[in-house]
Structure 1
Amino acid sequence: MAGSDLRSVQRLMRHVPAQYLWPVLLLLVTCFGCILLLLYRTTSTQNELQLNQERAAAAGALEAAAAMTRRDLEDYAKWDEAMRNIVFTLDAEWLADNLGAYLSASQGYEHIFVLDGRDRTIYGFHGGKRVEANALSALGPQFRKSLADVRRMPVDGRPLAGGYSRADDGTVMLYAVGAIIPLTRKVVLPPGPTHMLVIARPVDDAFARAIGEQEQLSGLALHARRPAGKLAAVALPGSDGGAVGWLAWTPARPGAALRRAVFPAFLAVAALALLMAGFIVRRGGRTIEALRQSEARARHHANHDTLTGLPNRRALVAHIRDALAEGGAVGLLYMDLDGFKDANDVYGHGAGDALLRDAADRIRAAVRQGLVARAGGDEFAVLLVDPPAGEAERAADAIVAAFNRLFSVGAYRVRVGISVGHAAFSAGAVETETELMRRADVAMYAAKGDGKNCWRGYATHMDRGHDLRMRMEGDLRAALDNGDIRVLFQPIVDARSGAVVSVEALSRWTHPVHGDVPPDIFIPLAEMSGQINAVGRHVLTVACREAKPLDVSVAVNLSPAQFWDRRLADEVRGVLAETGFPADRLELEITENYLLRRPDAAAMVIAELRALGIRIALDDFGTGFASIGYLRQLSFDRLKIDRDFIRPLGQDAQAAELVSAVVSLARALGLEITAEGVETEAQAAIARIAGCTRLQGWLYGQAMDVAQLRDICSTPPSALADAADR
């Protein structure tokens, strides 16, 4: 019984009334004693049955070997050719070719003798060579008895015998002896005593091993006397009825094996029965214990995160408050995972949960002392109370270093960094837990602003940047509510005619205080604050509504968070229904980097979008790691060559070759091609010659409002070309 089970039993027994304890114990001992006795008797019977089966198998194998020897001898003793070459004329060469070749070389009989009518050896063969030997003196008394028995048998029957004999030198022999008689009436047996054919082989360790392997008997070996102890044995029977030797082996004991296998379960059942008896007798005690445990679990769950097992934010705040009340020095490391939201969106929430557990383990391993807590979402904290000098800095370095290793998410390897902020109060400081956490949070966002995957200690000047970021998050939310996020359009022209055939929707934000906020500022801010889906829906709605009257298609970029949102297809369907914009004029642009992490899942999202009738373009091709296989699997309609490939055109011959190669690849896959970043006519001409079907860039116009777009769409292509030249 395990130690924990024993302690549980002891606890229960202390609560069992004495007048019930001994009757219950007596009942359990009686029941399980009977079960144990029955188990022992059953398994002992199983051992006996197995032993009897093994004995029968061994005895049968011995009898089969003797019968096989008799059959081998009969094949040669009852044979017309044997009569001619042994009885009528003793042909030694014939004997060597037949008896020696088969019975000795092939069947392994070491002793082969031919006896005349007076039992004298007229031909002997031993160990592959002819010998002059007396068979009667070599093979022992059991053989001599069998020979005499065969002499007395009628020749018209089967005058042969065989079995086991102990030779005069102590060797146990397997033998057969038989009269040499004709097989057919073509040969007439001469009068007088018949000639005899004798074959024999030693019963040795090799013989025993062969039977052991055949009958699956462990350690089968030959013994001169019946062995004592735990070995099983069968006798090698002689013709006189006695035993000429013994085959012994270690018998299998399935009952004992079953007993060993069942006994732990028996003990477990006995322990369980004892526990259940205690529960039944003392239901009140069990109820109290259950309530006590339930209360402890409730306290634990109230103060711990169920996913990682770490203390939660509530417990963290309580520990900070207690540490400050004691008046010691307190330090707080507050951290946030970099890139977790993307990984969670791309690989799913199950993978995100596994990643959070792995992150918690890495933080715990990096911290030598202090309380590690999960503050919420992908945020963690480490509370240090009276830390040694430099411990906070060491812990922060160790945590950042721990996140330099890739995370395993299923079959994928993912890089997720961490940004750490540190704030501290010296001993006796009159401050609140709220202020300590605020400062650590400010320092953490300063680490994010300095490039992420690093740590920063709190300084007062950080409050200005933090306050600005918080204000801008609120201002962005207000701008979305008020429709202040503008949508501009950049023309995309047909490479041959120069006519505007499509536009790309671009978002712009102008704030009365902050001024023009570039997209590379407010788009990451939207992603960080969870507003990116609202921004994306706003841009898509405005672009479809304003471009609907124009005879152009509209291209709209999707962020990673939008693409992996399970509601994306429903959102797009709702916008198309709301604005009445034709689905076949809408093109959604997707960047390759975040598709290739889960190509199978990306293919399903793209298929769902294409089912709406819209087109899908792969944006910024060449900046990621897309392979031909991925391009075929993901079924794009258009491929947009990144501006980094277009910019060198006209100055670098290799750039033109690269563009031509990309165009050839796209054509082979049935994709249309757009060249991005076209700024000069020379670049346009080379892209056109290479096979690009559409051109986009400042040569044809920068971002413009819908009124300017309307004018450009109504301007003939020749006039646009003249304006571009100017």
Structure 2
Amino acid sequence: MTISRYFPKQYFFPVVLILGSSFGCLFYMFSYLTNVQDQMEVAREEQFVRNSVRTASSLAVHDLQDYAIWDEAVRYIATGLDPAWIDENVSAYLGVIQGYEHVFVVDGTGRTLYSFKDGKRSTEPMDAVRTVGAAFLTTLNRAMTMPAEARPVIGGFARNAQGEPHIFGVGRIIPLSDKVETPPPPGFAIVVAGALDQKRLDSWTELYQGSALSIVPDDATDPLLGTLDLKDDDGGQVARLAWSLSKPGTELMRKILPGFLVIGLISLMSAGLILQRARLNNEALHRSKVRAQYLAHHDILTGLPNRRELLSHLRASMRSTRVFLLYMDLDGFKETNDVYGHAAGDEVLREAATRITRASGPGGIIVRAGGDEVAVLLTGVDGHQAENTAEAVLRAFDEPFHVSGYSVAVGVSIGISSNEDTRDEEELIRRADLAMYASKSNGKNSWCHYDRELDRDNESRRELEGPLRAAVAEDRIEVVFQPIVNATSGRIDKVEALARWTDPVLGSIPPDRFIRVAEQSGLINDLGRNVLQRACRAAGKWDVGLAVNLSPAQFWDRDLAGAIHEIVQRENFPASRLELEITESYLLRRADDAERILQRLRERGMRIALDDFGCGFASIGYLQRLSFDAIKIDRSFVNCVEESADAANLARAIVALGLALKLTVTAEGVETEEQARVMTELGCTQLQGWLYGRPMTEDEMSAALAAQGRGAVLAG
């Protein structure tokens, strides 16, 4: 019998590790906090003792100040020593009331002139230095040399020759007012002193409400005691004070340890229950794997296999037998969802799956490929049988669907592909999907075989994508410039940058062809940035504006504004001279998003022009909302203004609209003098076309601009 029989080993050791590390960390944390709390208490108590000692010394200084700094003391002590006066006016207070054992009067050299001990004057003066300690002289010398304005009263500690520690205060006798002269050196001082014995330490403990203090030998050490060394002014040892250390952290740890152990026991029991539960869950998980495997390969809504299962069947069969794939999309399903709701849409999908399954017969594998797309895989059949199956599916959709009390007409468009010349399952699906969209283009509710003619654009993309990718990477896309002239003066106001590509093998490829390939292959952003960078670098030498086209794929790039701004900054090209041309057809589908993108571009100082205006569906409302700076009239209007009055009237209306909105209006495709005259009379601001020059290289444009005096590099 092993542990793994009751507890899964993949959980047992991690749980043990978690419990061990958790409780280990908790125990370490408690121990650490206990130690920190104990140390903090030791530091607090030591500081308290230091403050008590400092306060006791300060009291001696305070007691002396009123007697040492006093005109009368100068008269009766410094001028003429009067022991009786000292008994009555000094010792009576300091020695009797304040409880100092000794009161001395000494001169500046330390010679004792008067002594008072235990409440009475000594008949023979006691030696203050011998009584208090030799270090007393250092303190006395400090007091006698201090300036009078510094109030020369000092407290301290000393130990005499007998090893008895004392606390004392010494105050130089000076007058309080200028009515009495300060005694000449060496001067005189009043000294108070008291033995630092247990009685005095007990009084400190009672007075300051601190730990009980005692004096221990100078070298005494005890981990249970806190100690503080008292020093004299010479740095010598006077006494070592000691007190019992309190350890609140240790005491707290001792109290909570039993509870900690109880929690540990409960945690172990809980871990056992969790592991037991994990074993039961493992068994349940094992039972559910079959169900999960089924769901991984089937659609929950319809119960049909999903795209993953389709790929699996294709891999297993298409390399060894003839297969046909019918890829179908429900016509009108989106409208059903929008009008009747998603619940009705789900009913349609379930019913459609049932009809397709029945129509396909027992030999077909029906899968839900995604959304409203269903695929039927037929194996071991010929093209005629595949077409018959497609016809059967179409007939199955003749009857309307009855959902939620409504009768809904839903059709189906079918694309058919086979593995006759391909062994790639993804390619087979792609071909069927392409044929299905061709079926939709032919009027829906029909079927269509895949044909290579459908893939012509795709083949073209494949042919050009590799060379184009290399050309973009190697910066071999050329940039040419077409002039845009002022309609009144005929001078070049602006140039439009155009991309041109000549491949060493393929030759010259038209822009509409390679730009479409760039959009389909994800190269358009790199291509567009290369063109913009080269155009800004060239146009930076000219005193004219620069127009650059943006493709739809570029426009919807989330980093468009930042990328353009970075290029403009890097090339030191003024953003106000850059005009970005955008075609209206791809703005109207997502007007809100387009407005945000245009706003970001305008915030960076760039101008926005609406290209090919008049051939799309832009309204006056959109022109105002999207805040364009210019419109370019499509060449289809310009080409007809000479012969058609209607075309001229339409052009006049477009120009009037642009001018009313305070936009720059440019006529494109101007090829004759008459077209230029008409468009100028209609009010166009600028003209562009072959009449004013075909696209030129950078050097050719520089020469043209220099000829009219606009080729100088702008300042800054």
| TM-score, normalised relative to structure 2 | 0.48
Normalized against structure 1, the TM-score is what?
0.48
Larger Rg computed on CA atoms: 2
